[in-house]
Structure 1
Amino acid sequence: MKIKALSWLAASTLGLGVGCHAESLGCLIEPDRVADVGTQVVGVLEQMKVERGDTVSAGQILARLTAQVERASVNVAQTKSAADAEYKQAVASYVLAQRKLDRTRDLVKKDFLSDQALDQADAEARVAEQRVAQAREAQRVALREYQLSAVQLGQRDVRSPFDGVVIERYRTEGERIEREPLVRVARVDPLRVEAIVPAAQFGSILAGQGALVKTDLPNFSALNAKVVLVDRVIDPASNSFRVRMVLPNPDNRIPAGLRCRVDFIVAQPATKDTAPILPTAPVSMPPPVSQKSRPLPATHQSADPLDMSAVKKSVTEAGRTLPGARVFAQNQPANGRSAVKSYLLMRQARLSISTSLAAPGKNKSQSMSSFVVPRMIAMR
C-alpha cells in the first residue's frame, strides 16, 4: 500500500496519471522456451531417467544410450595416458649417454681416446635426447585420446539444455535412436505473454511498460507483466503488430497455454483538476542587505529627516562646498605634506559626520555643523 501511494504521488507531481487502454486485448501465455531434446549419435536407448511433468535443471541427464564400446575405449585410453614406462626408459638412456659423453671428453683431453670416440659418444647422447622427447609426445597423444574417448562417451547421455519441465516424452527403452528428439522440455519461469495489438496503437506501447494480464482462473485473475519486445513491422494482412511480455512465475505456479486478456498500463496526461499548481513566475529571494546599507535600529534613528539645507549652510560658512570626494581639493598647498594632512582631515570629517548622524536624540543639522565646520576651518 505504501509503494502504491508513493507511485501515485510521483505521478501526480509530474502531472501524469496512471491508466489502461479502454479495451482489453486478447493474449496467450506461453512457455519462455521450448526445446525438443535429442542425441547427436545413433544408438539404442538404454535408459529414460525422466517422465512427463518432471522438473529438471540445466545439465541434468534425461536419457542414456548404450555405451559399452565407448566405456571400453575410455578405459584403454586412460591406461595408455597413465603408462609412463617408455618415458622413464628414455630418460634413463639419456642420462647414461650424457655420462658416457662426459667421460669420453675427459679421456680425449688426456689423449687416451681419439676424437672419433668423442663424436660417437656425442651422437649417442643426441639420440637419447630425441627418444625422451618422443616418449613425452607419445604421452601427450595418449592423453588426448583419453579426452576424445571421454567426449564420445558423454555424447551417449542426453542432457537438459535449461531449467524447466518435461512436457512430452517421445521414446522408450530399447528403441533405436537416429538423432530424433527423445523428450520435450519447456521453461516456464518466467512465462511469455504474446498479444496482437491493432496498428492504431503503435507507438503507445513501449518496452519496459507495465501490463495487467487477466485469466479465467480464480487464483490468477490479475497478473503483473512487463513489455520486453514490440515488433517494428506491422502485418499488412491483419493491420496489427505483436507485443511480447514477460510474466514472472516463481515455483511454476502459473500454467502455460492459458488464453488471457491484457491491459497495457500507460501514462495519461493530467487533467485540470489533478494537475499540480506551478508558479507562473520564478520565485526569487530578496537581495541581501549589505553591511554598509543596513538600516540603523529604531532606537538610533531620529524622527525628523535630514535637513540638507542646513548642511549646505554649515559648509558655506566655512567657505567651501561639499561636492563629494573632492572636498578641499582646491586652493591647497602644493607641497606633499600639506596635501596628506588635508586628505587625512577630510576623511576624519566624513567619519565624524557618519557618527553624528547615528547618534540618538540629536538634530542632524546641528551635528553636522558641530563636526564639519571646526575641522574645515582648521584645514584652512
Structure 2
Amino acid sequence: MKGILLINLGSPDSPKPKDVKKYLGEFLMDERVIDIPFAARTALVKGIILNTRPKQSATAYQKIWWDEGSPLIVISERLQNKIQQEVEYPVALAMRYGSMTIQKGLQELVDKGVKEVFLMPLYPQFAMATTETILVLAEEIRNAHFPDLKISDLPAFYNRPDYIEVLSNSISEHLKGNDYEHLLFSYHGVPERHIRKRDVTKSHCTIDGSCCATPSPAHEFCYRHQCLEVTRLVAEKLQLKAHTYSTSFQSRLGFDPWLKPYTDRTIERYGKQGIKKMAIVTPAFVSDCLETLEEIAMEGEEIFHEMGGKEFTTIPCLNDDAEWVSLLAKWINEWATSNQFHQSSLTSLTEKL
C-alpha cells in the first residue's frame, strides 16, 4: 500500500517565548541550517541567540498568529485535507521542526498499512537547510524505526512547466488590475557557503553573476540557480518587461556572506529611487508563514513607506489554491501509478558529491 507524507518547515506550538525558544533551539541546532562545528554552533545558539531572539521572534509570531493557530500549520492542514479529497492514497502531514514530527507522520501512515511512502518536501528549490535536512532525518528515522518501509521523494520542482504555470497564474490573478511599477521576487536566503558545499562539480559555483546562467550539473542542487530560474521562467510566462522585476533574498542571519541582493535593502533602494507602487512575491515558500506575513507584508511595507513608497502589494503564497492542490494530486498519482521505485534525491546527491 502506498502513502503520502507532506512535509513543511514547522512552527512553535504557540507564540509564547518559551515555545518559540524551544522551536528555535531545534531549528538552529540543525547542522544543515547553521553548518559550523557542533561546539561553535552550541555556543552561538544556546549561548547567544536563544538568550535574545526568542522574545523578539515571539513578538513577531504574535502579530501573525491566527485564532486557529500557526498560519503555516493551519494552511498546511487545509492543503492536506484538500489533497486527500483528490487522491485515493492516505495523506499525512509532518513538519521538520516542532511537535508535528516526521516520525509521527510516518507512524500514522504505517498504522494504516502503508509500505511505500512518497515524501513531498514542500519546497520548490533544493537547499541544505530545507529539502536535504528533511531527507536526511527521514532516512535516519526509517532506519531506526521502519526498516522495511520504502521511501522515495519528490525532487525539486522549481522548473517544472506545470508548477511554473500554476505559480504564474496565481501571481497574475493577485495582480489583476494592479498597475505596479516593480515586481520583486523575494526568496529565503542561505549562506553563500551552502551553495559551494552542494556544488557537485566542486568548481562551478563561483557566485559571480554568471555561473547560474551557465549550464552545469551543479544546478541540480544549486539553490541560487533554482531561485533565479523560477524568476526567469515566471517572467517569461507572464511576459514581464525587462527592468520591471528583479530577484532578492531575505532572512539572513549572522555576519557571514549570504545570497545577495538582500530583500530589505532592495525594497529600500527602490523606494529611494522613486518607485511608488511595488508588488512582492515569495516563491521559496508554498505556504504563508512568519517570513511572508511578518517579515515581508509588515516589515517590508514599513521600509517601503519610510523610503517614500505608496502602494506595497504582497502576493500570497500558493497555500491551498485549487490549481496547486490539483497539481500536487497529479504528481502523487503519477508517482503511484509509475510502478517503479525512484531513487531518492538524497541518494543522488550523496553519489555525486
TM-score tier after normalising by the smaller chain length: under 0.3
- The structure with the largest alpha-carbon Rg is 1
Structure having the larger proportion of residues in strand: 1
| TM-score normalised over the length of structure 2 | 0.17
